[in-house]
Structure 1
Amino acid sequence: MECLCYENSAWSKMGSEIKVEVIHKETIIPSSPTPPHLESLSLSVFDQLQPEFYVPLLLFYPNSSNEINIDHHSLAAERSSLLKTSLSKTLTHFYPFAGKFEYNVSISCNDHGAAFLQAQVNCPISTVLEKPDHEVLKQLLPADIASTQEVAGHLLLVQANFFECGGMAIGVNISHKVGDAFTFSKFINSWAAVSFGSSASDHIVVPAVEFGVVASLCPPLDFFNSRQPIVEFAKEKSVTERFVFEASKIDALKSKAASSTVPNPTRVEVVSALIWKCATEASRSNLGSVRPSVWCQVVNMRKRSGQPLTENSLGNFVWYFASMTMESEIDLQSLVAKFRKGIEEFKEKYPNGVSPQDVCQTIQESGNLMTKDGIDNYSCSSWCRFPFYEANFGWGTPSWVSIRTMAAKNTIQLTDTRDGKGIEVSLALKEEDMAIIGSNEELLAYTSLNPAAI
């Protein structure tokens, strides 16, 4: 057991200093050893293509107890112990999370373990939730998004943050090499089910055999086995902001965006279209010229592979489709139509899923386009409909789930609001573009810029 005690960081807020202090750190190993035949997990080509960074997630749980004289220190110790015990049990099913990444070839499932940190925060949880601050939230996570395995030390890291009011926030970082949002949500809800002591845990916890399915269908490519040039994100300084679209505003946006081509647009389509429209207009305004704009949307391939056995497969199984606009005047209806056309063409082109050969061809075809000067490229990933808000570890479901996009320009991440009907957007743009979009009247008619999370 490794124990550390240090101050993570501090900030001034409304004249007071918020401190997050990590008081304990240890490594959690699976409760049962990984069987010898599972000790090496081959990566799929989709795993190979994911950059080596850590996907972040924060789950906030205000204190729901009505007891006035509750001992918060004892409560923190009790919950921390429960989280560690249940994490150990869950890792037996998600054994690659406790392993080590062997560069772009495999995961060595050697029970290396996951990092578990316990931290205390010297303010009520409401202080953080009333006005979410990007820098504050970052300190509630155990690792920086841009970390590598060498820096983070583990593929999975957890930080249990306990506030002085008795509320808590669970911060989780997972290496993108071992899973996408689907895999992440399966892990979180399986862990919560084990913690809660659900009798239905056999139904919720995904069997170990689900790992490796994608690699058997889409095996790794030798070309990606050797170290490739480090992924360099756009050098322009970017700013990340949070926008929240409530359900009623999305309904109004749907009415505005509907057309004879797409009479019933989805909430993801209309929110994405509005963000794309406003971001493109901001970029063109700063540049003083019109240039093409491309929106790349990540697609979950599990139900698009033509293979029933992939529906619950773990690891990375996502691809993307791209939509482009070159028009000088852009409107919501045309952008929504482009989205719909893009996904329909994707279905037609890949009726039986994406093969490694398709991957290579797409990279070759799109590589020049994505890196070509004179084109605005936006990359969007939607976590909508993944059940993170159902994660009940024994003290209720989270009041707020926070995710963040990479601090790289023109990246967008969507997730549900708590009611499952609205959408939160994490948007990273160049500073000068964000300055314009943050005051865009059309955008602000349908969304709120960083409202309270409670």
Structure 2
Amino acid sequence: MVHQTIKGHVLEVTVISTTTVAPALPVQEHHLALSNLDLLLPPMDVGVFFCYAGDGAGAALPATLKAALAKVLVAYYPLAGEVVANAAGEPELLCSGRGVDLAEASAGGAELRELRLGMVDESAEKLVPKKKAGVMCVQVTKFKCGGAVVGCTFDHRVCDAYSFNMFLVAWAAAARGCSPAPAPSFDRSFLAPSIPAPPSPDALADKLFVPVSCVLAPPAATEAASAAANRIFRVTAADVAALQASAGPGRTKLEAFTAHLWQLHARAAPPPRQRRSCCMGVVVDGRERLNQDGAMKDYFGNVLTIPYGAMSSGDLSGMALADVADDVHRWVMEAATGEHFRGLIDWVEALRPEPSVARAYLGGDDGAEAAACVVSSGMRMPVGEVDFGWGRPAFASYHFPWPGSAGYVMPMPSARGDGDWVVYVHAAPEVVKAMEEEPTVFKALESGYVFDRAL
């Protein structure tokens, strides 16, 4: 039983039962190697949750989810397996058909609209399950009003958000009885290293990643991570458009948002502000860069790199937003090439079996002395398609309170479908405070904004 306080009273979330859902067809046990780009990820779990208002699902909700999950795990069988170590000590997938743990929970007499979703530690933290075994787990929490929350957690080493979105859409389609989506591809040849590997390391890969053996973990990293604040904000479509306009012609919404966030970090930096470095990274998907013909559209796994920029807080604070956005655009585009991704694959191959880590999470070249944050776009989140047969979600968000000391910010489309964004934030308290106090862009996520249209 988990207790949380909401609006002056204690909400009791009680796990009633847990079932392990296996694929509907038997899986011949086998090992599936992780790709070189999978090996860039440390052991960490990512969560996502969907809020469904009303009583459309009723008592059949868990049964519907289980039956559909069993069907879709036939194609997405790695999610029903386990991550184990191979002879070299590297992680790999054991496709065993173990299944996915699915917990059924009750929120007692609580109403869904009582959740303060913006206060992540009061809401998502209790509704997204902690994975104990396997690659993925699910929790279905029912509320007195008839609403429900479906939360999922998956091992990031196995797949990225793009891949998990594919799974979510397929799972929802199976629950509605729709025709199955195209099967995912686990063809590792897309990400095979050069044979033989180039004699010299890739310069950009060497700039963006570093072997773990070369990292001196700062003593305060764990303390900083535990002190981080977790929030979900909303950003109106008008404010997104205004940011993009201020960033100048040719700049994307994400580049404009990242530039604004970078300057916000600089303003929030404690004194002596002028000397402190701010490092900002952006996660870049490489599917379309490696294969422009769309051959990797259905590839399941990680195809990511994380370019970054670093400047002093004083310099950032004194720049126009358009100039900061120009800098973001420069280093993002430098990494958004097939050449970089192929070089990164070879860089990992030359390093194996030693693991590595993205420098953006470590503060870039300035290391522990820098304030670090990474932006990962969740704009491809298919909110409207995650309909299990009782309507589209009233709200959805990723959940990633990761254990590192760097901040993590993920914008995604609002479930309202009106161009607004919701932004998941895991960052230092002074940064979150700056977000809460600024007069534009970041706005509090009120219950009425989420549920008034749905209930």
* TM bucket, shorter chain: 0.7 to 0.9
Give the 3 Å change call, closer, same or farther, for CA 33–54 of structure 1 in structure 2.
same
Aligned-CA RMSD value = 3.1
Offset of 1:102 from its aligned partner? Answer: 1.3
Contact kept, 8 Å, 1:119 with 1:159, in 2: the verdict is: yes
Aligned residues: 413
Contact kept, 8 Å, 1:213 with 1:310, in 2: the verdict is: no
Matched, 1:429 2:416: no
Q: Provide the residue aligned with 1:112 in structure 2.
A: 98
Offset of 1:96 from its aligned partner? Answer: 0.7
Contact kept, 8 Å, 1:99 with 1:108, in 2: the verdict is: yes
Structure 2 residue ranges without an equivalent (≥5): 198-210
Contact kept, 8 Å, 1:189 with 1:388, in 2: the verdict is: no
Q: What SS does the aligned partner of 1:87 have?
A: helix
Contact kept, 8 Å, 1:306 with 1:353, in 2: the verdict is: no
How is 1:51-70 mapped onto 2 (pairs within 5 angstroms)? 51-63=42-54, 65=56
Distance 2:309 2:4 in 1: 41
Contact kept, 8 Å, 2:412 with 2:421, in 1: the verdict is: yes
Q: Provide the residue aligned with 1:187 in structure 2.
A: 167
The percent identity for this pair of structures is: 21
Q: Provide the residue aligned with 2:12 in structure 1.
A: 19
Contact kept, 8 Å, 1:269 with 1:339, in 2: the verdict is: yes
What code does the residue aligned with 1:100 have?
A: E
Q: Provide the residue aligned with 1:82 in structure 2.
A: 64
Offset of 1:195 from its aligned partner? Answer: 0.7
**Equivalent of 1:314, from 286, 300, 311?**
300
Offset of 1:433 from its aligned partner? Answer: 3.8
Q: Provide the residue aligned with 1:334 in structure 2.
A: 323
**Equivalent of 2:258, from 260, 272, 293?**
272
Matched, 1:298 2:283: yes
Offset of 1:370 from its aligned partner? Answer: 4.8
Q: Provide the residue aligned with 2:77 in structure 1.
A: 95
Q: Provide the residue aligned with 2:411 in structure 1.
A: 414
Q: What SS does the aligned partner of 2:393 have?
A: coil
**Equivalent of 1:254, from 236, 241, 244?**
244
Q: Provide the residue aligned with 1:69 in structure 2.
A: none
Q: What SS does the aligned partner of 1:268 have?
A: helix
Distance 1:372 1:140 in 2: 34
Contact kept, 8 Å, 2:118 with 2:233, in 1: the verdict is: no
TM-score normalised according to structure 1 size: 0.82
User: 1:195-225 CA deviation, whole Å, 9 max, x = no partner?
Assistant: 11003x1xx2424x43535454589x9xxxx
Contact kept, 8 Å, 2:290 with 2:337, in 1: the verdict is: no
Distance 1:183 1:13 in 2: 34
Distance 1:227 1:343 in 2: 24
Distance 2:192 2:47 in 1: 28
Distance 1:10 1:414 in 2: 29
How is 1:297-446 mapped onto 2 (pairs within 5 angstroms)? 297-306=282-291, 308=293, 309-326=295-312, 327=315, 329-347=318-336, 350=339, 353-359=342-348, 366=359, 369-370=364-365, 372-407=367-402, 408-418=405-415, 419=417, 421-440=419-438, 444-446=439-441
Q: Provide the residue aligned with 2:27 in structure 1.
A: 34
Matched, 1:177 2:162: no
Q: What SS does the aligned partner of 1:235 have?
A: helix
Give the 3 Å change call, closer, same or farther, for CA 347–179 of structure 1 in structure 2.
closer
Give the 3 Å change call, closer, same or farther, for CA 197–15 of structure 1 in structure 2.
same
Distance 2:247 2:412 in 1: 20
